Amino acid sequence: MRFKLRWNSFLSAAFLAAAAAFAIALPVSADNSAATKAAANTGINLTMNGKAANPKTPPFLDKGTVYLPVRDMGEVLGTLVSWNVQAKTVTMRYPKLTVKLPFGSKSASVNGQLVALSSPLRMVDGRVYAPLRFFSEAMGTEVKWEKSTQTVHMTKSDDYMRLTPYAIWLNQVTHDLYLTKDEQTDVTLIGKLDAEFKGTVTTDGAVRNGKNTVLTFVDKYANPQPHYDVYALLIRNNRIVEQKHAAYDRRYEPNTSYYQVYDPKGWIEYTVLTDGKIVWVYNDEGKIVATHDLSELTKQEDVFGVQAVGTDYLVVRPSRTGLLTLIDLRDQTTTVLADKLLTGKDLAYARENQTPYPGDTLSFAGDDWYPGYGILDFAYDSPFQKNGPSERLTYERPSYAEERKALPKERSFQEMAASCAVDTVKSVHMQDGDITYKPLIAANKQDQEGIRTVCRMLKKITAEGSEVTLPRIFPETFFHGMSVEFTAGDSVSIYRAEGTKLAMGSELGGKTIFLEDAEMVKTFERLKVSSNN
C-alpha cells in the first residue's frame, strides 16, 4: 500500500553541509537581461501530479521556451541535486537514474547515454535553469504546457519516496530501499524492507556508528488505540544485513541504536538492535558480541522500549507498567527508577496514571560525568510543570559503591578558590558554544599569568558574590564559559550571566555564586584567545 513518510532525524553533518553548500556554490554568471527580467516577473504556475508545486526559484519563459530551475525541480521530482564547481556540471541522482548536465552543453548524460537538449542550460542570478522538454525526455516525466493559464503540468510515477533532505529512497510498492553516502555517489539498492505498512510511516533516524548504520522506520496506526510497528535495519557496506521488528501499544519512544566505551587507544563503538524482547549488540565488524533477554533479566513477560545500553547495564521501559527500569548486569538487579528519583505527587503520578499511557516521564540522559563510577543521569519532564526545562536527576548504582570512594572529595567553591594557584590548577578550558579558545595549561610558563588571573577571579567571586541554589536542568545550548580543572581531580566553571554578572558553578544548575562586576567581565573576555593564534 502507499503511505506517507516524514523524516525526524539526520544522517551526517558532513553530508548535510555538502548538500546545503549547493545553494550557494553556483557561480553567478551574467545572463542576458531579458532572461533576468523574465525570471523576476514570471507568472508561470507549476503542478506535480495534479497538485500545485511552488519552487523557491520561479520558472520563466524566454523566446518561446519555458525554463525550470534545476535544483528546485530536482527536489520536486525527488532527486538529489549537486553542483561540481570544477566540472561546471549539475548532477541529479535517483534510483536507477543518474543525469549529468554540463553547463553550456546542448546535451545531457542520462545513465551514460547522451540526450540532446532543446536549448542549453541557462544561468540566471546564480541559478541553473533547464528547458522544460528536458524533464520529459531525460527524467521520464510527462510534461504539458498550458499556454492559456501559463501552467506547466508535470506527471510522474511516485513509487519512490525520497526522505528529504536526506539521500534515502523507499519504493512504496516493492519496499526496495536505496541510498547514497554523499551527493557525489550514485544511488545504490541496499535491500528490501521486510514490512507490511498499515498507517503513517515515519523514520526515527539513520545513525551512522563506525562501519554500521541503523535506519529505523515506524508505522503508526490505530488498533484501536495507537499502535507502533518499529522496523530497525542494520546496514553495512551498502547492504541491509539485519532487520528487527518490535511492536508497541499506546506508547513509543525511540530505541537506542549505539553506545561507546572509552579505551586509551580510542572510543570503541557498538551498535544496538532490539525487537522489544531481546537486545543484540554488534561490534564495528557487524558481529554479535552480546545478547540480552529482557524478560529473563526483569522477570517480566512484556515488550520493552530500550533507552540505553552500556557494558554492564540497560535502561528499559516495560510497556505494561511504563516505569523506566535499570537492569544492572554487574549485580543482576533491577531498579524501578521512579522509586529512587521521584517523590510525592510525581511518584504517585508515575505509579497511578494511565492516560494517555501508564508510567513515568523519566528518560535516560547519559553516563558521561564520571565514567566507570556507576553514575547515571536522567531527564525528568514533570507533568505538573508544562513547557518548563527538563530537570536533571542522578542515580548512583549501588554496584559501584566501592569505586565511588576513589572519587575526589567534594570541595566547596570557597575551598577550591582558596586553594587556586599555578601549582594546584591543571588547566583552564574556554568555549562559546562550538567555538573553543586556546586553553591555559599550568605546565606552560606563558600560561601561568593567565591562570593567576583566573584564581583571582575565583577568590573575588567567592568573597563578594551571592550564593543561590538553582534547579538542576539540562542546558539548551553548548557550554559558554571556562572550566577550571584542579590537580585534585575536581573542577569548577565560570560563565557569563545576564548583564555584567559572572557566575561560578554550573550551567546545569545547583549551587551557584553570582557577582556583578563589569571590570571582571572584561577580564573574563580578554582571557579568550583564538585557538588559531
Tell me the pLDDT tens digit for each residue of 158-186: 788 776 556 789 898 899 999 887 778 88
Q: Which residues contact 388 (CB under 8 A, 6 or more apart)?
A: 381, 382
Confidence band for 475, pLDDT divided at 50, 70 and 90: low
Same domain, 257 and 134: no
204 within 8 A of 246, measured Cβ to Cβ:
no
Same domain, 314 and 281: yes
Same domain, 356 and 455: no
Q: Which of 155, 176, 209 is the last residue of a domain?
A: 155
Confidence band for 376, pLDDT divided at 50, 70 and 90: very high
Distance of CA 368 to the CA centre of its chain: 18
Report residue 452: phi and psi, to 5°: -60, -40
Please determine, for residue 4, whether its predicted confidence score (pLDDT) is greater than 60: no
pLDDT attached to residue 370 = 67
The structural domain count of the chain equals 3
Degrees, nearest 5: CA angle 122-123-124: 115
In a domain, 1, yes or no: no
Q: What share of the chain has pLDDT > 90, as a percent?
A: 54
Same domain, 227 and 325: yes
In a domain, 467, yes or no: yes
Q: Exposure of 74 by Cβ count < 10 A (0-12 exposed, 13-18 middle, 19+ buried)?
A: buried
In a domain, 281, yes or no: yes
100 within 8 A of 117, measured Cβ to Cβ:
no
pLDDT attached to residue 26 = 37
Q: Lowest-pLDDT range, 27-31, 301-305, 485-489? A: 27-31
Q: Which of 132, 155, 178 is the last residue of a domain?
A: 155
pLDDT attached to residue 371 = 74
Q: Looking at residue 29, which CATH number applies to its domain? A: 3.30.457.10
Please determine, for residue 196, whether its predicted confidence score (pLDDT) is greater than 60: yes
Please determine, for residue 215, whether its predicted confidence score (pLDDT) is greater than 70: yes
Please provide the average confidence, as pLDDT, over all residues in the chain: 86
In a domain, 80, yes or no: yes
Q: Looking at residue 465, which CATH number applies to its domain? A: 2.60.40
pLDDT attached to residue 18 = 34
In a domain, 165, yes or no: no
Question: What DSSP letter does each residue of 165-200 carry, written as one string?
Answer: TSSEEEETTT-EEEE-SSTTS--EEEEE------SE
Whether the full predicted model's pTM is greater than 0.85, yes or no, is: no
Same domain, 397 and 424: no
Beta bridge partners of 222: 226
Same domain, 389 and 417: no
Rounded to whole angstroms, what are the CA distances from 520 to 17, 447, 526? 38, 19, 10
In a domain, 160, yes or no: no
Confidence band for 477, pLDDT divided at 50, 70 and 90: low
In a domain, 16, yes or no: no
pLDDT attached to residue 164 = 55
Same domain, 290 and 320: yes
Q: Which of 377, 404, 431 is the last residue of a domain?
A: 404
- At 258-291, the pLDDT tens digits run 999 888 788 899 999 999 999 999 999 999 999 9
Same domain, 209 and 98: no
The better pLDDT of the pair 32, 472 is held by: 472
Same domain, 417 and 398: no
Same domain, 214 and 307: yes
Same domain, 275 and 400: yes
Q: Compute the distance between CA of residue 72 and CA of residue 78 in angstroms, rounded to an integer.
A: 10
In a domain, 95, yes or no: yes
Same domain, 442 and 493: yes
Q: Which domain holds residue 41?
A: 22-155
- At 293-306, the pLDDT tens digits run 999 999 999 999 99
- At 309-330, the pLDDT tens digits run 999 999 999 999 999 999 999 9
Q: Compute the distance between CA of residue 96 and CA of residue 93 in angstroms, rounded to an integer.
A: 8
pLDDT attached to residue 141 = 86
Q: Compute the distance between CA of residue 227 and CA of residue 200 in angstroms, rounded to an integer.
A: 11
